[in-house]
Amino acid sequence: MKRLLFLVLSALLAVLFVFSFVEDSTREWTGYQRRFMNTLERAERRGVSTGIQQVIVSDLRKVDRCTTCHLAIDRPQLALAEEPFTSHPALPGEVNKDGDPTPFIFHPIEKFGCTSCHGGQGLATEVKAAHGDVAHWEDPLLRGPLVQASCRQCHGNTEQIREHVPMLLEGRELFKAKGCYGCHAIKDFGQTVSVDLAEVGSKSYLLMEADFEMMPHPHDRIHWLKRKLGHPRTLNPGLRPEELPAGEEEVFASAMPYFGLSEHEVDALTVYLLSLKASNLPASYVTQALPEPEPVYASEIERGEAVFVKFGCTACHGIGGVGGRRNVNAGLGEEVPPLLYVKAYYEHDVESLKNVIRNGRQPTPRANPHRPRPPLYMPAWKDRIPEEDINALVAYLFSLSDQLPEAPPAPAEVPADTASN
């Protein structure tokens, strides 16, 4: 009996060994390596290592196995035209002594690894898992221009690498131009009407309040940001009283305005938001930002316009103060009022206008007192906008009345004797 049991267990062990051997030899990465090696001449194969390849970057606490499949990433002479057998493109200025494009001069693999710039899951060896396209992995692969978001982790002086990060810089300027600072703060600058975006590129989904219920797959940070920027109210459509249990107050849709952004603008803003990460890199990796020169303005009005844009007033009041942003259940037509009539209201009481800017105006009056408060309101700026900038802002707001059409001339008086005829 014991001998029979021994034979059965030995046979089972042999079967398990064969099964594990077959399974291991048919993994995705082994197939990629065989395909690549079959394209090489015998002499070329000697310089290519097979098996699991990994790069350990102790300074960044990274272990990356990307080169297990991307065998030609640093060998342009062996590269093919299809992934994963292409080589890494050289950045502008990355050339060897002969002037030939040579990748990894600026960012050696042994110092930076792969996932520190490209995202993904470094320890994985299956394609979907390695690219981060799996459930609960919050840093999927940054494809195409999205990889520019990683540059800001080390390069505080993004202006000095402008040619490498055009989408990142465009997104930063769009963030200012669209008035995002009027509701969102980034570290010590901006308002607190909505969430602070200082670490939105690295916060967990729960902390950034990302709700995927109202959007199609894939459910990851990148696509959530794109949907939020392009169609903000589809993620938070709100609920009418009839859709709620009895007695529950209705929920308004997201207060974030629809900006009508193009697909390219959404991509640029996504790159910028992804670049806003919590980072604790070694000092040897980081280049500090240079102080920006103080701007010079031709007039007080020009300075006031810069203040209007800098502090995000355009988000609610529109470019040039024309208004039109929807504000549900607000007085004055459920919209944020335009600023073209500020001079008419406050020309003889400038201090009252300044107090509105300093102290805000909240809550916003309701159009219907039985519905919830409007989501948008005028926040207080007294601790954020210096007094001299408030003076310039008032000058700019008064100048907006010049955009109003001139009143038609009064009809000329008709002489009495002519009128009687």
Q: pLDDT tens digits for 124-180? A: 999 999 999 998 898 999 999 999 999 999 999 998 999 999 999 999 999 999 999
pLDDT value of residue 128: 95
Count of CB atoms situated within 10 Å of the CB of 223: 16
Residue 253 sits in the same domain as residue 189: yes
Residue 182 sits in the same domain as residue 284: yes
Residue 390 sits in the same domain as residue 258: no
Q: Last residue of a domain, which of 256, 291, 326?
A: 291
Which long-range contacts (C-beta less than 8 Å, at least 24 apart) are formed by 166-171? 167/267, 167/268, 167/271, 168/268, 168/271, 168/272, 168/275, 170/268, 171/268, 171/269, 171/270, 171/271, 171/272, 171/273, 171/275
pLDDT mean over 210-238: 90
Residue 195: name the closest of 251, 138, 148, 255 by CA: 255
Give helix 263-274 / helix 221-230 axis angle, nearest 10°. Answer: 130
The pLDDT mean for the chain works out to 90
- CA distances, 365 to each of 10, 114, 268, 332, 340 (Å): 82, 53, 36, 9, 20
pLDDT above 70 (res 421) = no
Please tell me the distance from the alpha carbon of residue 15 to that of residue 100, in angstroms, as a whole number.
53
Residue 121 sits in the same domain as residue 195: no
pLDDT mean over 2-27: 74
Range of the domain at 327: 300-403
Classify residue 225: in a domain, yes or no: yes
pLDDT value of residue 332: 83
Q: How many CA atoms lie within 13 A of 160 on its CB side?
A: 11
Q: Which of 11-15, 27-31, 280-284, 325-329 is predicted least confidently?
A: 11-15
Classify residue 420: in a domain, yes or no: no
Residue 328 sits in the same domain as residue 387: yes
Residue 337 sits in the same domain as residue 249: no
Residue 351 sits in the same domain as residue 378: yes
Q: Which of 114-123, 181-190, 311-320, 398-407 is predicted least confidently?
A: 398-407
Q: pLDDT tens digits for 23-66? A: 666 789 999 999 999 999 988 998 899 999 999 999 999 999 99
pLDDT value of residue 309: 95
Whether 238 and 251 have beta carbons less than 8 Å apart is answered as: yes
Please tell me the distance from the alpha carbon of residue 176 to that of residue 232, in angstroms, as a whole number.
18
Residue 111 sits in the same domain as residue 229: no
Residue 193 sits in the same domain as residue 114: no
pLDDT value of residue 291: 83
Buried b (16+ CB within 10 A) or exposed e, 381-410: beebbeeebbebbbbbbbbbeeeeeeeeee
